Structure 1
């Protein structure tokens, strides 16, 4: 993956999520706003970088505050010699071309059943596809997700290449945010 020549270097605290779900081994870092402002977009953004000198590639998530956060797997923070609570040094560079997103199986089925939607989907940009998928997967309830899949197919079939009314940064809708950190 080729990267853009903008490199951001900063230090941040490695945090443990208060509600990690079933996997309690991951941690996260919230990017300082000035580091996030150097990225090409406020929504999901793929970067290459290092954490304490250890290389990785990951997709940053929007935090709803016009910044981003990074999920750090146990394998990555252990390889970087870092533990939760440590201050880590990160260097991030956005990739020049976003990788193609994985299409969730339920959305794949809906696209396959709607050839007009699939045709428009195939002619959209990678970033637009990332936003469509993010909009669908950000639904908190299965009923909402199913409605969004149906709406996405309808919009795509009508020729719409970008999801409307979706704030990929979460700033205006507060749809996205970094996890709440566990108290130390």
Structure 2
């Protein structure tokens, strides 16, 4: 039996993150029943409405088997919603995942490694998004530099997936997860 990928409707409370202090964005964690209707436990792009205001966004895994979404101030205000409000959402997975934004340092490294760039071009948008997430999820600048070099080497050798990357966040809670809500 496959997952239902129709429209998913639910209500959820908008939360303010504890960090960074003074954040203007909000977030919410999908109820488990809503998340279970999505086709994957990993990142998934959805078309949706928040209090009737249309948006497209990529839900991130929360590391607990569900998903969460960062709600930028502009969307929250356009929807007439404030942090602490319970809001109505309707979401549905997109038919085709959009191309991810490639950070300039990764784009430059690929341009300098033709074999890696050729392999990159053959990947799906989801696979490219996974590579980008793996590269950018390191906490230190030197980790990112090392991962870019490693990624170019792995791609040039024909590798299609980032090594040891847990797309669900269930086994690597340090890399993925919803923010902690402010009190």
For normalisation by structure 1, the TM-score amounts to 0.92
Provide the residue aligned with 2:13 in structure 1. Answer: 13
Aligned length in residues: 179
TM-score where L is the length of structure 2: 0.93
Match of 2:177 in 1: 177
Residue pair 2:64, 2:169 contacting (<8 A) in 1 also: yes
String of CA shifts for 1:107-139, please: whole Å, max 9, x gaps: 111111111111111011111001001111111
- Indicate yes or no: 2:37 matched with 1:35: no
Cα RMSD for the two superposed structures: 1.4
Does residue 110 (structure 1) correspond to residue 109 (structure 2)? The answer is yes
Q: For residues 104 and 8 of structure 2, what CA distance do their matches in structure 1 show? A: 35
Q: 1 CA distance for matches of 2:63 and 2:119?
A: 29
Cα pair 2:62 2:176 within 8 Å, conserved: yes
Matches within 5 A, 1:49-64: 49-64=48-63
Structure 2 Cα separation of the partners of residues 73 and 89 of structure 1: 16
Q: Tell me how far 1:40 sits from its aligned partner.
A: 2.1
**Structure 1 residues 71-108: Cα deviation after superposition (integer angstroms, max 9, x where no partner):** 11111111111111011111110101111011111111
Q: Which SS does the other structure have where 1:164 is aligned?
A: coil
Aligned to 1:178, the other structure's residue is in SS state coil
Does structure 1 conserve the Cα–Cα contact (< 8 Å) formed by 2:27 and 2:71? yes
Offset of 1:5 from its aligned partner?
5.2
**1:162 counterpart residue number:** 161
Give structure 1 stretches of 5+ with no counterpart. Answer: none
Q: CA deviation at 1:52?
A: 1.1
Unpaired runs of at least 5, structure 2:
none
Secondary structure class of the residue paired with 2:33: helix
Q: Using the alignment, how far apart are the partners of 2:98 and 2:28 within structure 1?
A: 22
